A and B are shown apart, each in its own frame.
Chain A
Amino acid sequence: MTMPSDVQKPMTIEDTRQAIASGSIKAADMAKSFYQTIAAEDPKIHAWLSLSKERALKNAECIDVMASRGDTLPILAGVPVGIKDVLAMQGSPTTAGSKILEGYQPPYDATAVARLEAAGAVLLGKLNCDEFAMGSSNENSAYGPVHNPRSLDRVPGGSSGGSAAAVAAGMAVATVGTDTGGSIRQPASFCGVVGLLPTYGRISRYGLIAFASSLDRVGPFTNTVRDTAILLGVMAGHDPMDATSSPLPVPDYTVDIDKPVKNLRIGIPREYFGEGLDPEVRAAVEKSLDRLRAAGCTLHNVSLPHTEYAIPTYYVLATAEASSNLARFDGVRYGYRTPQADSLSAMYRRTRDGGFGAEVKRRILLGTYVLSAGYYDAYYRKAQQVRMLLTRDYLQAFREVDVLLTPTAPTPAFRLGEKTEDPLAMYLADIYTVTANLAGICGISVPCGTSSKGLPIGAQILGKHFDEATILRVAQALEQQNR
Chain B
Amino acid sequence: MNSSKKITLEDVRQVAELASLELTQEEEAHMQRDLNSILDYVAQLNQLNTTDVPAMAQVSEILSAQSDENIKALREDTRRPSLDRAAVFSFAPETDGVYFKVPKVIER
Contacts and interface: CB of A to CB of B under 8 A. Distances in A.
Interface in A73-108: 103-105, 107-108
Interface string A263-299: 0000000000000000000000000000000000000
Q: Is the interface of B mostly helix, strand, loop or mixed?
A: loop
Contact of A384 (B16, B56, B60): B56
A243 B42 contact: no
Interface in B1-36: 1, 7, 11-12, 15-16, 18-24, 27, 30-31, 34-35
B99 to A, nearest CB: 10
What's the interface size class on A, roughly?
A: 35 or more
Given A107-B84, A312-B42, A344 B75 contact: no
A1 B25 CA distance: 60
A243 B74 contact: yes
Given A333-B100, A378-B1, A365 B35 contact: yes
A384 B105 CA distance: 37
Nearest to B70: A246
A388 B18 CA distance: 29
A467 to B, nearest CB: 12
A349 B20 CA distance: 5
Nearest to A313: B45
Most buried by B among A306, A348, A385: A385
A306 B59 CA distance: 17
A47 interface: no
Contacts of A330: 20
A349 B22 contact: yes
A389 B62 contact: no
B104 interface: yes
Contact of A388 (B46, B56, B63): B56
Nearest to B47: A309
A344 B103 contact: yes
A423 B42 CA distance: 13
Interface string A337-374: 10001111111111011001010011011101100100
Interface string B62-102: 11001001101111100000011001101111100000101
B19 A368 contact: yes
A337 B93 contact: yes
A244 interface: yes
Contacts of B105: 343-344
Contacts of B57: 214, 384
A412 B84 CA distance: 47
A214 B58 contact: yes
Given A312-B44, A333-B92, A344-B104, A323 B62 contact: no
A362 B35 CA distance: 8
A385 B50 CA distance: 6
B27 A361 contact: yes
Given A379-B1, A388-B56, A389-B50, A107 B88 contact: yes
B69 A365 contact: no
Interface string A409-447: 000000000000001100000000000000110000000
B91 to A, nearest CB: 5
B19 A364 contact: yes
Contacts of B70: 201, 246, 248
Contact of A361 (B31, B38, B44, B75): B31
Nearest to A341: B103
B56 A343 contact: no
B34 A423 contact: yes
Contact of A108 (B19, B56, B73, B83): B83
A395 interface: yes
A70 interface: no
Given A337-B93, A424-B38, A342 B21 contact: no
Contacts of B84: 107
B69 A248 contact: yes
Contact of A381 (B55, B66, B73, B83): B55
Closest 6 CB pairs of A and B: A440-B59, A384-B55, A337-B93, A349-B22, A107-B87, A385-B50
Interface of B: 1, 7, 11-12, 15-16, 18-24, 27, 30-31, 34-35, 37-39, 41-42, 44-46, 48, 50, 53-60, 62-63, 66, 69-70, 72-76, 83-84, 87-88, 90-94, 100, 102-105, 107
13 contacts: A103-B91, A105-B90, A107-B91, A335-B93, A343-B105, A347-B102, A365-B31, A383-B42, A383-B45, A385-B55, A387-B55, A424-B38, A440-B63
Interface of A: 103-105, 107-108, 200-201, 213-214, 240-241, 243-248, 306, 308-309, 311-313, 315-316, 323, 327, 330-337, 341-350, 352-353, 356, 358, 361-362, 364-366, 368-369, 372, 375, 378-379, 381-389, 391, 395, 423-424, 439-440, 465
